[in-house]
Amino acid sequence: MRGLAQSYGALQVLKALDLDIADGEFIVLLGPSGCGKSTLLNCIAGLLEPTEGQVFIQGKNVTWEEPKDRGIGMVFQSYALYPQMTVERNLSFGLRVAGMAKDEIDKRVKRASEILQIEPLLARKPSQLSGGQRQRVAIGRALVRDVDVFLFDEPLSNLDAKLRAELRVEIKRLHQRLGNTMIYVTHDQIEALTLADRIAVMKGGTIQQLDDPLTIYNRPKNLYVAGFIGSPSMNFLKGKIEGSGKTATFKLGSGKVALKDYEATVPLKPSAAVLGVRPEHIRVNTDKEAGASEAFKAIVDIVEPMGSDSLVWLKVEGQQLSARVESNQHFDPGQKVDVRFRINLASVFDEASGERL
Amino acid sequence: MSDISIMEPSGPKPKLWLEPSRIGVYAFLIITALYFLFPLYIVIITSFKDLAAIRDGNIFWPQLVYPEGTHWYDPWYRAWFEVCTGLECKGISPNFWNSVIITVPSVIVSIAVAITTGYALSNWPFKFSEGFFTVLIVGSFVPYQVMLYPMVLLTKNMGIYSTLSAVIFVHTVFGLPILTLLFRNYFASLPAELFKAARVDGAGFWRILLQVFLPMSLPILTVAVILQVTGIWNDFLFGVVFAGLPNYPMTVKLNNIFTSTFGVKEYNVEMAATILTGAVPLAIYFLSGKYFVRGIAAGAVKG
């Protein structure tokens, strides 16, 4: 399954985009609304004809094929069930269109409804189903057609938080069971991180980074990806790199951070830079540990208890940052504290280009 | 985000059974209803009177006793079977059938074409579809009179001028812009993902229209049928211009009954003919009132 160089429309929603997806892979297209991720999915589905470029599925050029001939099934955010048909007829619609024999249709509908546990609902109309049930039926509609590729267009966005978590697990289980290629569009980073084999973070019609979830999380390629992934989001501290190579330091206000524990992608040299540290990689009032920086003086601004841990907002060298601390650590606003950054887990970006250094 | 429920006063709002403002509203509604119903009442009772009773002059009071050999339904019978215009004394019934013959095909054909066009415009955009749509919108605002003479020439060249076919043709054509607009907007208001899902399922142009969209279009179909049936049934202009003398629809015939000054003026027969002519649209409004309002709210206003 290969997607190649697709740009579309006068607006250029997608810019010369290349994407190779392996057979059986679960790919998540992640990005804010308007980044072109749904457009890309529609191009793959054949609902939009790309202005340039081509789409290959199973090595076959399907750029000008009808959606039904591409071996794809699609699940939509609004479920898009046919309201006047029963669940059973919804599931079998595609098969009936294809002119399949009645027994074969029945067999497939039965199998799909078993997998999705919607057998008791077969005689109902979509309006008599809950959101989660509707989405199951919508998944079933792709399932009965025995497709190579499943396309999900924000399938869980219309569900409440609890159902979303439930169905997320179910989609993952479905993928493990079927082993189909799945392409999943979402703006929810939790869905992306939990489901994907690889995540494609998109912005402005381009893929910013395509990697497995942990790499995306730990080694973001640029400031955009770093800021988009993670909740609460990564802290960005502006400063300067002084020195070069392993002896380089990051100058933050009056203090300095040694970068000898940082795995740089390019040799470091003096320039304006941004230090990105996730809240859980900041230590407050603790002893020095391996890979951590020297202590900085900070002032506690606000404390947000989150149950399992707390988020502490701090002021360091005139810049704001948040740190995740154990909930048994107690802080008061205005309190003076020491903070250390775990540099081995941090990211350093070039300030001008936003690229990871 | 927060689960704090706001304390609100519970139970029904205390209210006087008859507040002064409510009395005002009811008074206004009753007076308005009477204002419109009263003429209808006069028309109905007059249609059941004989001429002698009408000449008595008590127009507000129905006739209760009929002379030997006459019936309460005599004016209606005359209106339907016997009333004359010029030398023809067949009543209004042939023209009723003319109206039926005009209305049924025009309604069916115009709606069938408009539903397909509207669906194509909203879901299968082609190169000049936006421009085509603009032309349609403009078309629905062109006054009929402007197109009258060209249409006469057109139907004449087609060899159907002065026949029922001409009237059917003209009604169909003139109904299309507004109906197409109606259906396009309705289909545009349906979720786009439904159309996509049907395409992924392999359904083509006609199958999506007939099996997916059409079953969802009942409200807008009702609106379209009502608009077309009442519009075409009530039409006078095209009937006069395109039908030719023997093919006049009911409305034109009714006018001729009123204007022909031959012998005594039979008010009772005229009233009966009026009610007969108005019965079809009236029945449609009564039968579909709820759907009509619903459809107007659902389709015509949106989009």
DSSP string, A268-284: --SEEEEEEE-GGGEEE
Distance to chain A for B4, nearest Cα, Å? 18
Q: Does A96 touch chain B (CB under 8 A)?
A: no
The pLDDT-based confidence of B220 (bands split at 50, 70, 90) is confident
Q: Which residues of B touch A79 (CB under 8 A)?
A: 193
Q: Does position B1 have pLDDT exceeding 50, yes or no?
A: no
CATH (domain of B109): 1.10.3720.10
How many other C-beta atoms can be found within 10 angstroms of the C-beta atom of residue B264? 8
Contact A80 B193 (CB under 8 A): yes
pLDDT > 90: percent of chain B: 50
Residue of A nearest to B197 (CA): A80
Residue of A nearest to B191 (CA): A80
Q: Which domain holds residue B249?
A: 96-300
The reply to whether B219 falls in a domain is: yes
d(Cα B303, Cα B299) in Å, to the nearest integer? 8
Give chain A positions within 8 Å (CB) of B215.
84
Q: What is the ipTM of this complex?
A: 0.82
b/e per residue, A126-164, with b = 16+ CB within 10 A?
beebeebbbbbbbbbbbbbbebebbbbbbbbebbeeebb
The answer to whether residue A33 sits within a structural domain is: yes
Residue B139 vs residue B270, higher pLDDT = B270
CB contact under 8 A, A76 and B193: yes
User: Is pLDDT above 70 for B298?
Assistant: no
Same domain, A214 and A246: no
Confidence at B59, pLDDT banded by 50, 70, 90: confident
Mutate which of A68, A69, A145, A146 to test chain B, going by most B C-beta atoms within 10 A? A68
Q: Which residue of B has its CA nearest to A48?
A: B196
* A300-310 residue pLDDT tens: 999 999 888 89
Nearest CB to A74; choose among B191, B196, B212: B196
Same domain, B246 and B108: yes
Smallest Cβ–Cβ distance between B200 and the set A45, A78, A84 belongs to: A45
Tell me if B16 is assigned to some domain.
Answer: no
Does residue A130 sit in the same domain as residue A69?
yes
Does one domain contain both A72 and A50? yes
pLDDT score, position B300: 45
Instruction: Tell whether the model's pLDDT for residue B168 goes beyond 90.
Output: yes
Minimum Cα–Cα distance from A93: chain B residue: B201
- Do B198 and B51 fall into the same domain? no
Range of the domain at A303: 233-350
All residues of chain A having their beta carbon less than 8 Å from the beta carbon of residue B207 are 97
Are B264 and B187 found together in one domain? yes
Quick count: other Cβ atoms within 10 Å of Cβ B127? 7
- This prediction's pTM: 0.80
Provide the edge-to-edge strand list for the sheet that holds A235-242: A255-258, A249-252, A235-242, A271-277, A347-350
Q: Which residues of B touch A9 (CB under 8 A)?
A: none
The percentage of residues in chain B with a pLDDT greater than 70, rounded to a whole number, is: 90
**Contact (CB<8Å) B200/A153:** no
B51 shares its domain with B125 = no
Secondary structure class of A29 (helix, strand, coil): strand
Q: At what angle do helices B267-295 and B250-259 cross, to 10 degrees?
A: 150
CB pairs under 8 A between A and B: 60
Residue A185 DSSP one-character state: E
How confident is the model at residue B16, as a pLDDT?
A: 67
Statement to judge: residues A184 and A94 lie in one domain? yes
* A356 located within any domain: no
A66 and A207 belong to one structural domain: yes
- Comparing alpha-carbon positions, the chain A residue that sits nearest to B217 is A84
Can you give the pLDDT at residue B2?
46
Domain assignment present for residue A355? The answer is no
Question: Residue B200 and residue A42: Cβ atoms within 8 Å?
Answer: no
pLDDT band at B262 (very low <50, low <70, confident <90, very high): low
Q: Is the Cβ pair B201, A68 closer than 8 Å?
A: yes
Using CA coordinates, name the residue in chain A closest to B196.
A47
| Total number of domains in chain B | 2
Average pLDDT over residues B42-53: 90
Residue B204 confidence (pLDDT) above 60: yes
- Which of A46, A74, A84 is opposite residue B197, by nearest beta carbon? A74
**Is the CB of B191 less than 8 angstroms away from the CB of A80?**
yes
pLDDT value, residue B252: 93
A339 in the same domain as A240: yes
The pLDDT value recorded for residue B297 is 59
Question: For chain A, which ranges sit under pLDDT 50?
Answer: 1, 3-5, 8-11
SS (H, E, C) chain B: CCCCCCCCCCCCCCCCCCCHHHHHHHHHHHHHHHHHHHHHHHHHHHHCCCHHHHHHCCCCCCCCCCCCCCCCCHHHHHHHHHCCECCECCCCHHHHHHHHHHHHHHHHHHHHHHHHHHHHHHHCCCCCHHHHHHHHHHHHHCCHHHHHHHHHHHHHHHCCCCCHHHHHHHHHHHHHHHHHHHHHHHHHHCCHHHHHHHHHCCCCHHHHHHHHHHHHCHHHHHHHHHHHHHHHHHCCHHHHHHCCHHHCCHHHHHHHHHHCCCCCCCHHHHHHHHHHHHHHHHHHHHHHHHHHHHHHHHHHCCC
Contact A67 B203 (CB under 8 A): no
Last residue of a domain, one of A227, A255, A272: A227
Q: Which residues of B49-78 are buried (b: 16+ CB within 10 A; e: fewer)?
A: bbeebbeeeeeeeebeebeeeeeeebbbeb
Please check whether residues A189 and A299 belong to one and the same domain. no
**For position B76, what pLDDT does the model report?**
93
Say yes or no for a CB contact (<8 Å) between B200 and A67. Answer: yes
Residue A80 and residue B196: Cβ atoms within 8 Å? Answer: yes
Q: Are residues A293 and A319 in the same domain?
A: yes
Sign of the CA dihedral with A157 first, then A159, A160, and A166 last? negative
**Model confidence band, residue B71 (pLDDT cutoffs 50, 70, 90):** confident
- Above pLDDT 90, what percent of chain A? 41
What pLDDT sits at residue A13?
64
Look up the CATH number of the domain holding residue A76: 3.40.50.300
Confidence band for B102, pLDDT divided at 50, 70 and 90: very high
Per-residue pLDDT tens digits for B112-135: 999 999 999 999 988 888 898 898
> Quick check: B197 and A73 CB within 8 A?
no
